[in-house]
Amino acid sequence: MDSVQKDQHPITGSSRSIVFGKYEMGRLLGQGTFAKVYYGKNLKTSESVAIKVINKDHVKKEEMMEQITREISIMRLVRHPNVIELKEVMATKQKIFFIMEYVKGGELFAKVAKGKLKEDVARKYFQQLLSAVDFCHSRGVSHRDLKPENLLLDENENLKVSDFGLSALPEQLRNGLLHTQCGTPAYVAPEVLRKKGYDGAKADIWSCGVILYVLLAGFLPFQDENLMRMYTKVFKAKFEFPPWFSYEVKRLISRLLVADPEKRISIQGIMRVPWFCKGFTMPVPVAFSIQEQVQENFLEQKDDDSESHKSSPPSYNAFEFISSMSSGFDLSSLFENRKKSGSLFTSKCSCSVIMNKLESLAKKLNLRTMIAKDCKVKMQSVSEGRKGKLSVTAEVFEVAPEVAVVEFSKSAGDTFEYRKLYEEDLRPALKDIVWSWQGECNSQE
């Protein structure tokens, strides 16, 4: 069945395009090298959405599969109030459809293009930007292309970070550093330009500093008609402050735009600066889940050899799902919310190794175990706790080959007892398979 069908509007009688029988696709909002973005509407809820349409053949021809794959994986990981939400991904043999949150306020760039912003307004946008970037970093994601053109505003003037096409996941590290040159020159950190490897999180902080300067000044800190002269200024962090910048702002930007990334202020340091803290409230991140039903349906559609999939983990990599489907496949449940306390860690071990470790650990802790076929294990205490028997679920997801994310969540019982088990027993016992713990602060908050 074709993904986009034509029918008549029930009232006006005019022709309209319907995507997978779920969304009405309207006017063209924007167009890039590899995709077109259309305004859309959910036929069931009347919610406005943005529909990003990507031609598979074009992506394959330009060898951009990895980038599209990574973008889906990353948007799946970074569910936050100040990050554009990816609602679902659907596809046919020819096209991929990203159904995304519709943000109608336009780019922050358009607002700055009219002139500098007042300090209170700039501070609000900077606070929201830092909150989103901090959350991305807690998930192991570096954006690498932060600039006002990639910062959108909703109808309530809240900032939304978009365009994760150049973002990096942990598996792109080599010797603990990233090595790909990318981003927009005026906003790129000096260590990125030097091609000697860089910390993606620290490079993002530099870009945030440039953005704050631009919001308050109305122009760039490093600019020159000659690109090499501009690079020289970036390498030396050589810039001047306009006379209207307050002392507090000058001091903060001076700590953000530091050429040596090791001496650059951290996000935690920024969040302790009095100027930043004024009126700041940390937004609550949106957790994620993968519902079992979706995985079961996927296995049924994939082939009849269900045994071969019992030990295969559900994947963050929606592009692998898309590529294997001959007709549209709804992955909406991959992007539903979860309101449970949980903790994440990344691992370089396979699903089977991780599952064996979890089983042996549960046995050692005298916990009953129930193993599901989709790399999920449920562990339950034998004795009653303050709120019944404590039940913990651990799910293993593939981010990429040789990189997995393991999520712990409390299914039942007392939160304090869960935290105690997690901190004192689970976390220390798993250190030999853990690459890095992710989002620990967010989960505790």
Going by the annotation, the residues of the binding site are 52
| CA nearest neighbour of 426 among 402, 407, 445 | 407
Instruction: Yes or no: say if 317 and 341 are a contact pair by the CB < 8 Å rule.
Output: no
Kindly name the residue from 57, 134, 145, 374 that is annotated as catalytic. 145
For residue 398, what are its two tokens? 């593939």
Dist. CA 35–CA 373, nearest whole Å: 36
Instruction: Yes or no: say if 146 and 187 are a contact pair by the CB < 8 Å rule.
Output: yes
For residue 340, what are its two tokens? 């449970």
396-417: b (≥16 Cβ within 10 Å) or e: bbbbbeebbbbbbbbebbeeeb
User: Which residue is associated with the tokens 């370089």?
Assistant: 348
Beta-bridge partner residues of 23: 19, 42
Helices (H), 62-140: 65-77, 108-113, 119-138
Handedness of CA 124, 208, 109, 116 (dihedral sign): positive
Residue list, annotated binding site for ATP: 52
Tell me the residue type at 340.
K
Contacts of 383 (CB under 8 A, 6+ apart): 389
Helices (H), 218-336: 227-236, 247-256, 267-270, 274-277, 292-302, 318-324
Dist. CA 68–CA 77, nearest whole Å: 14
Instruction: Yes or no: say if 368 and 392 are a contact pair by the CB < 8 Å rule.
Output: no
Dist. CA 130–CA 127, nearest whole Å: 5
Instruction: Yes or no: say if 129 and 152 are a contact pair by the CB < 8 Å rule.
Output: no
157-179: b (≥16 Cβ within 10 Å) or e: ebbbbbbbbbbbbbbbbeeeebe
Secondary structure (3-state) at 9 = coil
Beta-bridge partner residues of 100: 50, 86
Tell me the residue type at 409.
S
Compute CA 341 distance to the chain's CA centroid, rounded to the nearest angstrom.
19
* Residue 145 bears catalytic tag: yes
**Which active-site residues does the annotation give?**
145
